[in-house]
Amino acid sequence: MSVILQTEIPYDVTAEKPLPGVAPLGEASWLHLDEAYAAQLARKAELLAERRADVVALDAGALPAAQELLRMVVRELIERHGFSDEGDSVARPDGRAVALNFEDPLGTLAQLVQEDFCILQKQGDEHVLTGALLCFQASWTLAEKFMRPLVRIHKPVESYDTNIAKRVQRLFDGVRAGRPVWRFNALHYADAELFHPRTEDAPREDDHREQRFLRSERQVIIRLPETDAVVFSIHTYLTNVHSD
């Protein structure tokens, strides 16, 4: 098991809000880089090499959206996070050059940022998960959610009732390009493994163990202006709530 921790979470996780609990992101960057950057990207590289089918999925129809997402991420990294444009590659602040492979946009993103990404596209009345880079799964599996609509994705979340489902769908319909919104959650776990898949019917093993790690996801919802897809980005923070 890999243990990759941050020293702190840069927002107050006790400030809970009713679902969906979103707020305008304002002038803040929708991407975060923190002290766990190198370690989290190394863990992503391991997962892509060993379990790619578990952490990457992309419908053919979502490839243009994934490519647009990669372009948007690269632009944000260069403009606001000290990355350098090297033409067909991008130089990270640690000096490593990452080739921009637009035939594998999600795999390329895994080499650039700590965030995971879910791509959702409107099909009928609902947004459907048509692509995802999901290395740091918090008790769910990509296979069960891929190509499913929002309501089905949130099975078996008890608090995700019909009223919440309608509010979330209105949120995804209403988010505007250039005006992202964000939210966070707070979860307690017994171990520090970031890759934490769990099927919908499996019991949570942590329920009977000391939950010493606090896991929080900074989640940003952003619309891609060209393809009109909605992206749900996830930056995972993990801290030890007990001093050793």
- Of the candidates 41, 36, 69, the one whose C-alpha atom is nearest the C-alpha of residue 180 is 69
Work out the burial of residue 209: count CB atoms within 10 Å of its CB; fewer than 13 is exposed, 13-18 middle, 19 or more buried: exposed
Q: Which residues contact 87 (CB under 8 A, 6 or more apart)?
A: none
The whole model's pTM is what? 0.92
pLDDT in tens, 105-132: 999 999 999 999 999 999 998 999 999 9
**Percent residues over pLDDT 70 in the chain:** 89
**What's the CA gap between 231 and 209, in Å, rounded?**
34
**What's the CA gap between 101 and 19, in Å, rounded?**
37
pLDDT in tens, 161-209: 567 778 888 899 999 999 999 999 999 999 999 999 988 776 555 555 5
